[in-house]
Structure 1
Amino acid sequence: MSRHDADLELALRLADAADAITSARFRAHDLAVERKPDRTPVTDADVAVEDAVRAVLAADRPDDVVMGEERGGTLDAQRVWVLDPIDGTKNFLRGVPVWATLIALVEDGVPVVGVVSSPALGRRWWAAAGGGAFMSDHAGERAISVSGVRALEDAYVSTTDLKSWVEYHTRDAFLRLVDATWESRAFGDFYQHCLVAEGALDLAAECVANPWDIAPFQVLVTEAGGRFTSLAGEERYDGGDVLSSNGHLHDAALKLVGR
């Protein structure tokens, strides 16, 4: 049980509403795509999801603030719902089924509820502060926890795009981590942090990330028993980058890849 159970229930309903929209528009022949100033794509589904979620929140939590990728907002409030209507939009518009809606409730600067829903994968992950972490898939619902791997040489690590390390940090930093671990993959975006939370991966590192890209994972990964920090080692979701881990490997990984 968590004191945020009612907020978690609402977040799960918001995810249901989002899934109905994204599932209907995935692989649609008339999908409308535009390019934002930062050259990232946005589809009509992104906007429709955010608008639908905002409408429910306006009715059910009128005193809360909303901050979304497509419509903007502020994080400077006691209670803020942080939304990414479609994380993995490039996958979504190309027909790759690895994308999700991300929903987080942030209280006093700390994420306390997180929901990640990936209908094309048939998976959903959720957590509330003090209540544990969970997922559902074809096998049903279950509690999840991070892996027990304690040595970097046995670790499985992921990122999104190696080119981003050149632009926003250094390629050498990530390659140092890769060279120290067992295997590396690029599961990318939301999926890698969910896999850390459920114990399938041991580390996921991003050298650039917006608050809406990672807010749910601070509560999801920590409730699953792991650690979630910026590359500077700060326990925050708005530091512009992120390292999520099973906890055992976190400090050793930060020494190699941290700022």
Structure 2
Amino acid sequence: MKDLQEILAIAREVGWGASDILRSYYHGTAKDPDLAVQYKQNEPVTVADIAVSQYILEKLQAALGHEEFAYISEETYQSQLSRETAKWVWIIDPLDGTRDFIEKTGEYAIHIALVKETRPVLAVVAVPEAEKLYFATIGGGTFVETHDGCVPIQLSSTKRIEDLIVVASRSHRNESLNYLLENLPCRNYKSVGSIGCKIAAIVEQQADIYVSFSGKSAPKDWDLAAPELILTEAGGKFTHFDGSFLQYNTGDINQWGGLLASNGQHHQSLCESATRLLAEFAG
């Protein structure tokens, strides 16, 4: 198999290419800019999702083949369920934040993660409208790439817990999550669209905390695998409320339960608060 840095170079190039395609649809300059919207399990899907999914899969498969790697994309996973036995799996979200893409908030992203067994070892998160690409490898740190070059990102913070900024979704809410957000010790909130953009806000130190709690549905592997590694390699933390790590490629694409991402500061205390608040809510 190729060296991880060689694979990363390929994934970065694919991330930039995918960004160009999404921006062409977003700004109406694509050959066929019609963003006809369909719904799959109550979630919107556009021709841009499909086009970028095909592009990413074709480029990765042409460079890396099928022998050593399996591939799962949000748009194609139902035909690829046998991939769960593979040791190395690409987990891809060609358009994270489709609603934001449609509503033109600019807060959409592309996720490309390489998972070994159940944990991510390589990640690319592209934020097209910011013209930025975040990348990380396990043990290698996190970097942000622009057209001017790459710089490392390392989180540092000395805020009091009440001064931490929680970044939250505008649309993916339920009663239990609202209760959590209203009662955590943090008092500052910021609405940001896609999960990739939320994690980008944390690594850019524009926010500090992201909380997810599944209701009838849950975040999927492709929502979290790439952003998680970007955050943790920058010095942040991303765990279940009980402190355990997320597991991917397990045969269940859903990430059930409570999840907390942070800049690393006050992480355990916030997990404990979230657990207590959920017990209060259920009681």
Do they fold alike, i.e. is TM over 0.5? yes
Distance in structure 1 (CA, Å) of the matches to 2:186 and 2:163:
6
- Aligned partner of 1:57 in structure 2 is 60
Partner of 1:201: 207
User: Aligned partners of 2:11, 2:21: CA distance in 1, in Å?
Assistant: 16
Instruction: Map Cα deviations across residues 192-234 of structure 1 (whole Å, 9 max, x no partner).
Output: 1122223332111122311101111221111101111123422
- Aligned-pair CA distance for 1:162: 6.7
Residue 128 (structure 1) shift: 0.7
1:173 aligns with 2:180: yes
Deviation string 1:85-120 (CA, Å, 9 cap, x unpaired) is 011111111222111111000012110111111121
Give distance in 1, aligned partners of 2:154 and 2:46. 34
1:30 aligns with 2:34: yes
Q: Give the total of aligned pairs.
A: 252
Q: Name the SS for the 1:23 alignment partner.
A: helix
Task: Name 2:193's counterpart in structure 1.
Answer: 188
CA separation in 2, counterparts of 1:71 and 1:149?
A: 43
**Structure 2 residue 115 is the aligned partner of structure 1 residue 112:** no
Deviations 1:60-93 (A, max 9, x none): 2222101111110344421000000011111111
For 1:170 and 1:94, locate their aligned partners in 2 and report how far apart those are by CA, in whole Å. 24
Alignment partner for residue 103 of structure 2, among 90, 94, 97? 94
Offset at 1:57? 2.1
Unaligned runs of 5+ in 2: 249-254, 279-283
| CA RMSD across the alignment | 2.0
Partner of 1:222: 232
Deviates more, 1:234-243 or 1:80-89: 234-243
Cα contact 1:80–1:106 (8 A) shared by 2? yes
TM-score, with structure 1 as normaliser: 0.89
| Paired AA for residue 26 in structure 1 | Y
Corresponding position of 1:21: 21
Change (3 A) 1:117 1:149: same
User: Is 1:210 aligned to residue 210 of structure 2?
Assistant: no
- State the match for 2:264 in structure 1: 247
Matched, 1:47 2:53: no
- Do the aligned residues in 1 keep the contact of 2:109 with 2:127 (CA within 8 Å)? yes
TM normalised by structure 2 equals 0.82
Deviations 1:233-256 (A, max 9, x none): 221154335311122211111112
SS of 2:72's equivalent? strand
Q: Give 1:17 deviation, angstroms.
A: 2.1
Of the two, which has the highest radius of gyration? 2
Deviates more, 1:100-109 or 1:50-59: 50-59
Q: Which amino acid aligns with 2:191?
A: A
Q: Residue 196 of structure 1 aligns to which amino acid in structure 2?
A: I
Shift of 1:56: 1.6
How far apart in 2 are the matches of 1:67 and 1:164? Answer: 26
Partner of 2:9: 9
Q: 1:79 — aligned with what?
A: 88
1:247/1:75 Cα in 2 relative to 1: closer, same or farther (>3 Å)? farther
Q: Deviations over 1:113-150 (max 9, x none)?
A: 11111121222211111111011347653111223135
What is the one-letter code of the residue matched to 1:212? W
Distance 2:193 2:36 in 1: 24
1:170 & 1:18 partners in 2: Cα distance?
32
Identity %: 28
Cα distance in 1 for residues equivalent to 2:125 and 2:112 = 6
Q: Distance in 2 between matches of 1:162 and 1:23?
A: 23
Residues 150 and 249, structure 1, Cα contact 8 Å, conserved in 2? no
Q: Which runs of 5+ in 1 are unaligned?
A: none
In 1, Cα distance between the equivalents of 2:62 and 2:6?
15
The answer to whether the 8 A contact 2:16-2:133 is kept is no
Q: What is the DSSP-based 3-state SS (H/G/I as helix, E as strand, rest coil) of the residue aligned with 2:102?
A: helix
Output the CA distance in 2 between the equivalents of 1:76 and 1:21: 32
